[in-house]
Amino acid sequence: MTRVNDGITINKTYIKNRLTMAPTVKFDYAGPDGKVTDKHVEHYRKRAEHGCGLICVEATAVTPGGRFGRNHMGLWDDEQIEGHKRIVEACHDNGAAVIIQLNHAGINANPELGETVGPSAVPTRDGEPARELTIDEIYDLQDKFVSAAVRAKEAGYDGVQLHGCHSYLINQFMSKTTNQRTDEYGGGYENRARFGAEIISKIRKECGDDFLISIRTAGIEPDVTTAISLAEEFVKAGCDYLQVSTGIDWEDDSLSEEELKKQGRPYNTVCELGVRFHEHFKGRVPVSCVNGINTPEIARYLIENDLVDTVDLGRAVLADPAFCEAVLEDKPYVKCLGCPRCQYGPGMPHKCPAKQKQ
> What residues are annotated to the active site?
168
CA distance 175 to 119: 10
d(Cα 170, Cα 248) in Å, to the nearest integer?
A: 11
Cβ contact 249:166 at 8 Å: no
d(CA 227, CA 244): 10
Longest Cα–Cα distance in the chain: 55
Residue type, 254: S
Output the CA torsion sign for 237, 105, 165, 220: negative
Sequence letter at residue 115: E
Nearest alpha carbon to residue 274 among 326, 236, 313? 313
Segments in the chain forming alpha helices (H): 38-49, 81-92, 135-155, 169-174, 189-207, 224-237, 257-262, 269-281, 296-304, 315-319, 323-329
Intra-chain end-to-end CA distance of the chain, in Å? 34
d(CA 58, CA 36): 11
CA dihedral 151, 155, 158, 161 (to 10 degrees): -40
